[in-house]
């Protein structure tokens, strides 16, 4: 049961990451390029802060089991 939830959560996170990158590469807002660097740094920081601990905790969880 937990394995299915973890797999679904991982797929959702990967889809969110891919969508964010696609929006960052091809924005529709004309003024987006003025603050792109700042936004990409912030988004990258958010992903690192959330994905890295989640990945570490998942690996530790499965290692302990």
Residue 65: both structure tokens together: 């089991």
Each residue of 25-52: pLDDT tens digit? Answer: 776 666 666 667 777 888 888 888 888 8
Each residue of 17-29: pLDDT tens digit? Answer: 888 788 777 766 6
Prediction pTM value:
0.46
Q: Give me the domain span that covers residue 60.
A: 2-26+34-64
Q: CA separation (Å) from 18 to 22, 31, 34, 63? A: 6, 22, 22, 28
Element (H, E) at 60: helix 36-64
Which 8-state DSSP code applies to residue 45? Answer: H
Domain count of the chain? 1
């Amino acid at each position: 049961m937990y394995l299915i939830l973890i797999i679904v959560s991982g797929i959702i996170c990967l889809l969110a990451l891919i969508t964010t990158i696609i929006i960052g590469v091809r924005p529709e807002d004309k003024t987006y390029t003025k603050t792109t660097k700042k936004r990409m740094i912030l988004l990258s920081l958010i992903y690192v802060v959330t994905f890295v601990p989640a990945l570490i905790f998942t690996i530790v969880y499965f290692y302990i089991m």
